[in-house]
Amino acid sequence: MPRFALKVEYHGKPFAGWQRQKDLPSVQGAIEDALSRLEPGAHTIAAAGRTDTGVHGLGQVAHCDLQKDWDPFRLSEALNYHLKPAPVAILDCAGVDEDWHARFSAIERQYLFRILMRRAPATHDAGQVWQINHELDVAAMQEAADHLIGNHDFTTFRSSICQAASPQKTLDELRIETVQGLSGPEVHFHVRARSFLHNQVRSFVGTLERVGAGSWEPLDVKHALEACDRSACGPVCPGHGLYLARVGYPDDPFS
């Protein structure tokens, strides 16, 4: 059966996450329903990562197996037609080998988290940023974040329902910057690793926000990491500011 890689963009607000769930809307379910319009029958797609409720996708990657050897451009166009009006778009499509896997072939995942700093309620960016009404000390947050770079036991920043076999992960990048967004000043977190624990990025951001607000010192983050205790983590921030930005492969199927 021909296998196709799909690069997917989506707004997470209407969905109970990526993964198909009974009686709840999901991104996976929306794409599988669109596939069934093209080739009748049940379809199961696999993704590079399962995003939670409200989390967005800029460059999620999934793969599907079909009976027909579709032209990739025609497949993406047909899927986008049948995905309407769901806020899901197939940005690119490529034929791949039958042993290529969106999850297991990936060597890197990059996330973006957006914080909007303003007092007035967000209108255009509502549901796409975590809004706070105070300024953040980005330099202090970066100092704290530097303690998290490298290979560590990330138990402190791991959800209690995480199903990963080990809390040991290598964090390659956690870069924080201030940008001027359309709705006001934003703080962006750029986070990169081969793989992540459940709620790891949101735990990082919620904890680092406490540093930026002055409630924690940068060294407190190092102590929290070393505690290997979930209770040492700061607040877990909401999912609607989080984006799966990019998935990396040894040979990019979309290049």
Q: Which residues does residue 209 pair with via DSSP β-bridges, in sequence order?
A: none
Is residue 177 within 8 A of residue 190, CB to CB? The reply is: yes
Q: Which residues does residue 95 pair with via DSSP β-bridges, in sequence order?
A: 4
Single out the catalytic residue among 23, 33, 52, 97: 52
Pair of tokens at residue 171: 């964090």
Is residue 5 within 8 A of residue 100, CB to CB? The reply is: yes
Is residue 14 within 8 A of residue 25, CB to CB? The reply is: yes
What secondary structure does DSSP assign to 16-77, as a single string?
S-SS-BTTB--HHHHHHHHHHHHS-S----EES----TT-EEEEEEEEEE-SS---HHHHHH
CA 154 to chain centre: 18
CA 144 to chain centre: 22
Q: Is 52 a catalytic residue?
A: yes
Catalytic residues: 52
